[in-house]
């Protein structure tokens, strides 16, 4: 497969924050997942899941890949579908940026845009629409990123070992926000096997149910609220998310993550999406609490170019009251 773009998935760079980390005894490293071919961390899971589906006869030549996705998983599916000649149908909430929607179309995928306001039990919720389409379309395969154990497994097999290697086994803390939870669960599982003292710190946006569930065990629908950052937080629990691997959590708002993402670009030259801002903001919060030297690792899940019309657009930021 060398030479094929799919062979360029993973083995992403890990870079150390140089200017925006004020804590001299704490290293903060960011894994640049936007260097994956479709521009995000999701290439890893889709590649792993589609390979497995082909191997086990769940996806046959000429078949259709269906998935509910906030965009990045869709881009990965659309890219791999294009290469392997599968039809790809993707459902998503209407808050997904127009750049992300158009990127999927560029790879030849069909998109179905659903109302962001639809609650999980609503048939118009984008997850339910994908499930229905997958059950109706013959020879179709749903990636099922939220509940598929192969999602965290992809990170357990690739991202976790890469972080361990790249830090020379020095990593002490891992920080990430989650949506499916695949990233934080898979990476933490691997790193904790290597170092049982590894501390996992999860960031969660206000408006998501994860934080309260982690703290109290309660799934509280009153916690569900709207927020602008795309791709993290959830209104339902997922099987890809293993809370037993998380040591503590912190909540953030749109302002925290957008300000930090813009600072990352301006000061560190790291042009990531809003969730890179959330992850680095949380890493800095964690660093401010630590008294011993530490090596914190987090991820920059996707490319800032996907958000040029939103958080990298001053007019949009002003309209939303963020600037
Ligand atoms: C931009 C972005 N950041 C972070 C995440 C969270 O990753 P995970 O689903 O592995 O928890 C996603 C997932 O959709 C994403 O699209």
Asked whether 180 lines ligand 1 (CB < 6 A), one says: yes
CA of 276 to the centre of ligand 1 (A): 10
Three-class secondary structure assignment of 144-212: CCCCCCHHHHHHHHHHHHHHHHHCCCCCCEEEEECCCCHHHHHHHHHHHHHCCCCEEEEEEEECECHHH
Using CA positions, which residue lies closest to atom 12 of ligand 1?
Answer: 231
How far apart are the CA of 72 and the centre of ligand 1, in A? 8
For residues 139-157, b (16+ Cβ closer than 10 Å) or e, as one string?
Answer: ebbbbbbbebbbbbbbbbe
Q: Give CA–CA dist 41/35, Å, rounded.
A: 9
- For residue 96, the surrounding DSSP H or E stretch is none
Cα atoms found within 13 Å of the Cα of residue 83, Cβ hemisphere only = 16
* 186 C-beta closer than 6 A to ligand 1: no
42: annotated active-site residue: yes
Structural tokens at position 232: 């993290």
Q: Ligand 1 within 6 A of 275 CB?
A: yes
- Minimal CA–CA distance to 30: which of 218, 221, 171, 238? 171
Residue in 41, 233, 305 to alter for ligand 1 test, most ligand atoms within 8 A of Cβ: 41
State the burial class of residue 85 (Cβ atoms within 10 Å of its Cβ: 0-12, 13-18, 19+). exposed
What is the per-residue pLDDT for 103?
86
Furthest CA-CA distance within the chain: 58
Task: Tell me, using a 6 A CB cutoff, whether residue 274 lines ligand 1.
Answer: no
Q: Nearest 5°: CA angle at 227, between 310 and 275?
A: 65
Q: What is the distance between the alpha carbons of residues 37 and 35, in angstroms, rounded to a whole number?
A: 6
Cα 139 to Cα 271: distance, rounded to the nearest angstrom: 39
pLDDT of residue 171: 98
Indicate whether residue 97 lines ligand 1 (CB < 6 A): no
Does the CB atom of residue 21 touch ligand 1 within 6 A?
Answer: no
Return the structure tokens found at 4: 């094929």
Give 10-residue mean pLDDT values along the chain (323 residues).
86 98 98 97 98 97 92 94 97 85 93 92 94 96 96 98 98 98 98 98 98 97 93 94 98 98 98 98 98 98 93 97 96
At 234, phi and psi to the nearest 5?
A: -150, 160
Task: Count Cα atoms within 13 angstroms, Cβ side, for 169.
Answer: 4
Task: Kindly give, in sequence order, each residue whose CB lies less than 8 Å from that of residue 16, ignoring residues fewer than 6 positions away.
Answer: 27, 28, 29, 30
Mutate to test the pocket of ligand 1, among 99, 127, 143, 183 (most ligand atoms within 8 A of CB): 183
* Cα–Cα distance for residue pair 96/76, rounded to 1 Å: 15
How far apart, in whole angstroms, are the C-alpha atoms of residue 306 and residue 273?
Answer: 7
Q: Domains of the chain (ranges plus CATH)? A: 5-35+149-319 (3.40.50.1100), 42-142 (3.40.50.1100)
């Amino acid at each position: 497969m060398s030479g094929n773009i799919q062979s360029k998935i993973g083995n992403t760079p890990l870079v150390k924050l140089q200017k925006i980390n004020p804590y001299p005894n704490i290293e903060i490293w960011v894994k640049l997942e936007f260097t994956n071919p479709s521009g995000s961390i999701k290439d890893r899971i889709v590649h792993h899941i589609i390979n497995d589906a082909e191997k086990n006869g769940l996806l046959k030549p000429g078949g259709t890949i269906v998935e509910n996705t906030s965009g990045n998983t869709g881009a990965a599916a659309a890219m791999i579908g294009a290469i392997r000649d599968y039809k790809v149908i993707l459902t998503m909430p209407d808050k997904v940026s127009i750049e992300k929607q158009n990127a999927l179309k560029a790879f030849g995928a069909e998109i179905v845009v659903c109302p962001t306001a639809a609650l999980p039990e609503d048939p118009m919720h984008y997850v339910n629409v994908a499930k229905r389409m997958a059950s109706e379309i013959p020879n179709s395969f749903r990636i099922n990123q939220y509940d598929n154990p192969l999602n965290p497994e992809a990170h357990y097999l690739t991202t976790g070992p890469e972080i361990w290697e790249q830090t020379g086994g020095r990593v002490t803390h891992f920080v990430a926000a989650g949506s499916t939870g695949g990233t934080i669960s898979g990476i933490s599982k691997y790193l904790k096997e290597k170092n049982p003292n590894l501390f996992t710190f999860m960031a969660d946006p206000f408006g998501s149910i994860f934080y309260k569930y982690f703290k109290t065990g309660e799934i509280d629908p009153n916690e569900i609220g709207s927020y602008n950052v795309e791709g993290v937080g959830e209104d339902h629990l997922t099987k890809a998310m293993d809370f037993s691997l998380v040591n503590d959590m912190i909540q953030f708002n749109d302002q925290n993550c957008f300000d930090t993402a813009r600072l990352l670009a301006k000061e560190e030259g790291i042009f990531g999406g809003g969730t890179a801002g959330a992850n680095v903001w949380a890493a800095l919060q964690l660093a401010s609490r630590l008294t011993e030297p530490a090596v914190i690792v987090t991820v920059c899940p996707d490319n800032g170019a996907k958000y040029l019309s939103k958080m990298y657009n001053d007019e949009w930021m002003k309209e939303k009251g963020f600037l």
